[in-house]
Structure 1
C-alpha cells in the first residue's frame, strides 16, 4: 500500500488524460468542446500557481501578467496572419491609415518567433522580477501586492495604447491558426486537444517536480526558509525557479486561450482575472496536484455558465462558496479525499497526510 502511494497521482493523471483526450471529444458537442478547451487554459495557469503557491508558499496574485504576455504574443501573430503578408491590421488602419506597423509588431509575422516569445518573455520577466524580490527577501503580503500591482499596470498600459494593442476592445477577428482555418470544426477540436495535451504535460511535470529533490527543497523553503539557508541552500534561487515555471505555464495558457476563445482584452489579464485564477486554486486545494486543476475548471464553468445567466448573483455565489470552503475546508475541496480516506478503518495514522 505504501509503495503505491507515490503513483496514485500518476494513475489519476492517466485517467484524467483519457477523459480529456478520448472521452470528451467523442461525447461532447462542439460548443462544450470549445468551452472545455478554455477551462483547460485556465487549468494550465492553475497548475503553475499550485506549484508556486501550494508548494512554495508564494502568493502569486499577478499571474495575469504572464497570461497576458503569452496571449498578446499569440494574438499579434494571428492578427498579422489574418491581415496577410506585408499588410497592416485593420484596427490600426482605422486609427491612422498612413502610419506604419509598429516596430515591435514586425517580428511577430513569423510563427516561430511568436512561439519563442511565448516562452522567453515570461522567463525574462519572471527572472528579473523574481530575482529583485526574492534576493531582497520580499515575501508574504508584500510579494502578493507587488505582483498584483504589475497585473494592474500591464492592463492599464494595454488599455491606453489603442493603436498598438487595440486598447479596451483588444485583439480579435482571427481567421486562421498557423494556416488552419479557425471556423473549421475539425480545427476547433484540434485546438482543444492541443490545450488538453498541454495541461496533461504540465501536470506530469509538476508531479515529477513534487517527487524530486527540488520539490523537497521548495517545500522546505515554504515551511522553514531560515533552516534551508542555514543548511547552505539559496532559498531565493529555489523560489525563483518555481516562479519562472509558473510564469511559463501561465503564458502557455494565455497563448492557447486566444485561438480557442477568439479574443484577448485587458480585462482578461488585469487584477480581477488574476484573483479569479488564485480563487480557483484556493477552491480546489492549492497543496494538491488535482485541486488547482479542478478548481480552475469549476471557476471557468461558473464564469461562463452561471455568470452569463445570473450576472448579479454570480459574485455572491462565488463569495459564499469561498466563505464556506475557508471555514470548513481551509485546504480546499481536495482535502475531502484525504479526510474520507483517513477516516476509513485500517488506515495507519502515519498515512493520514492531508492533501
Structure 2
C-alpha cells in the first residue's frame, strides 16, 4: 500500500499538491466562473495534457519535441470525424447532392464516404483510434529517429518539419479533411447535444478527471525505475547505454506516452470547442505548448498544468484588455520567466514557497529551527583551514 502511495501520489507532499490542484479545478473554478469562462478553462486544460507529456519526454527524458501539436491535432481530428459523421446523417444532409456524407465532401464532388472515414461510425472504435493512431505515429517517428541516435536539436528540427508537413497535407486534402476550415459544425455525440451549458459542464469535469489520471500515470512512471533511467539518460546517455540498457527503446516509450497524452487532450478540445482545424497541428501551436511546460516547470507534472493555465489566462486577459499590445505583453511575460525563473513556477515554489509555508506551520517552524541549529553545528565542526568535514573524518 505504501509503495503505491509513494509511486502514484509521490508521498505526502505529492498528495497535497494533487489535492490542491484537484480542489482548484473541481471546486473553485466551477464556483468562480460562469459557463463561458469555465468552457475556456476546459479548453486550456486540454492543452495541459500536452504539457504534462512534455514534462515526461523533455524534462525527464531530455527529448525536446517541437511537434507535439501533431499528436494533439490527430487525436482531435479522430474525434471530430466521429462527431461529423453523426452530424451528417441522411436526413440532416438531404439537400446535398450526396446525402449521408460530410458537407465539405459534397462541395468537393465526392460521392461516397472514403474508406479512412468508415471506422469512425463507431464510438468505441473512435476512442481506441484517438489513442492508437497518434501513438503509432509517434512509435514510427521514434524508432526512425532514436534507433539511429538522432537526438538533441536535430530531433527538434525533424519534429518541426513533421508538424509543417502534416499541416500542409491536411490543408491540401480538402475533400478528406475539410481543408483550411477544418472539421466544423459538430453538434451531438450519440444524440447528446454537446453545445448546451450542462453538456459543457459535464465535459469540463470529464476533462479534469482524465487530466488527473494522466498526471497519476506520469507520476507512476517517474517514481519507477524507468523514471530514474530517464533522468540518467538525459544527463549521461552514453553511460546508460554502456551499462547495457537499450536507450532507444526507453526514448520511444516515453515519446509514445507523451503522444498519447497529447491525443487525449486533442479529443477533449474537439468535444469542448466543437471543431478541429489544421491551425492546431502546425509549428506555432507546438512551440506554444513547449512554452506552457517551460513556464510551469519542465520537471513538474503539476507545474505544467499551472503553467498552461497561467499563459492562457494571460493571453485571454491581455487580448481583451490591451488588444493592440497583448502580443508584446505576452512576449515580456515569457522573457521574464526565462530570465528570472528558469525552472518555472515549480522552481519558484521549491526555492521560496516551500520554506515560507513550512514556517507558517508549527511543525515546520520547529523543523526549520532544528535544521538551522544542525547547520550551525556542522559549520563549527569544519576546521579553520577550510578542510571539509568528511575529509577530516
Distance 1:282 1:88 in 2: 42
Query: How far apart, CA to CA, are the structure 1 residues paired with 2:221 and 2:371?
Result: 26
Contact 2:44–2:312 (CA under 8 A) maintained in structure 1: yes
- Separation of aligned partners in 2, 1:134 and 1:253: 25
Larger deviation, residues 236-245 vs 9-18: 9-18
Cα distance in 1 for residues equivalent to 2:371 and 2:302 = 23
1:6 deviation in Å? Answer: 3.5
Long gaps (5+) in structure 2: 1-5, 91-98, 360-367, 375-393
Residue 15 of structure 1: how far off its partner (Å): 2.3
Query: Which of 101, 105, 113 is 1:101 aligned to?
Result: 113
1:55 equivalent in structure 2: 60
Structure-2 residue corresponding to 1:163: 175
With over 3 angstroms needed to count, the CA separation of the structure-2 counterparts of 1:171 and 1:310, relative to structure 1, is farther
Inter-partner Cα distance in structure 2 for 1:206 and 1:347: 34
Q: Is the contact between residue 20 and residue 196 of structure 1 (CA under 8 Å) also seen in structure 2?
A: yes
Report the Cα distance in structure 1 between the residues aligned to 2:260 and 2:87, rounded to whole angstroms. 26
Aligned to 1:67: 72
Radius of gyration: which is bigger? Answer: 2
Q: State how many pairs are aligned.
A: 348
Q: Does 1:316 align with 2:331?
A: no
- For residues 254-333 of structure 1, the aligned pairs below 5 Å read 254-333=266-345
- CA shift digits 1:4-24 (9 cap, x unpaired): 984312221122112222333
Moved more, 3-12 or 261-270: 3-12
Q: Conserved in 2, the CA contact under 8 Å of 1:67 and 1:252?
A: yes
TM-score normalised over the length of structure 2: 0.83
| SS of equivalent residue, structure 1 residue 263 | coil
Return closer, same or farther for 1:103/1:230 CA change in 2, 3 Å cut-off. same
Do the aligned partners of 2:131 and 2:264 also contact (CA within 8 Å) in 1? Answer: yes
Q: Note the C-alpha offset of 1:249.
A: 0.3
Q: TM-score, normalization: structure 1?
A: 0.92
Aligned counterpart for 1:196 among listed residues 208, 227, 231: 208
Aligned with 1:80 (options 80, 85, 93): 85
Indicate if the aligned counterparts of 1:276 and 1:299 stay in contact, CA closer than 8 A: no
Question: 1:288, 1:208 → 2: CA distance?
Answer: 13
Q: How does 1:143-158 map to 2 (within 5 A)?
A: 143-158=155-170
How far 1:312 moved relative to its partner?
Answer: 4.4
Taking the aligned partners of 2:249 and 2:100, their CA distance within structure 1 comes to 44
CA distance in 1, matches of 2:13, 2:370: 16
Find the aligned partners of 1:312 and 1:128 in 2 and give their Cα distance.
43
In 1, Cα distance between the equivalents of 2:52 and 2:108? 40
Aligned counterpart, 1:128: 140
Let me know the Cα RMSD of the aligned residues: 2.2
| Residue equivalent to 2:21 | 16
> What is the rounded CA distance, in whole Å, between the counterparts of 2:212 and 2:89 in structure 1?
34
| CA contact 2:85–2:120 (8 Å) conserved in 1 | yes
Deviations 1:19-64 (A, max 9, x none): 2223332332111111111011011111001111111111111001
- Of the three residues 233, 255, 263, the one matched with 1:251 is 263
Shift of 1:308: 5.0
CA distance in 2, matches of 1:178, 1:311: 39
Decide which moves more: 69-78 or 299-308.
299-308
Given candidates 93, 104, 107, the residue that maps to 1:91 is 104
Is the deviation greater in 44-53 or in 293-302?
Answer: 293-302
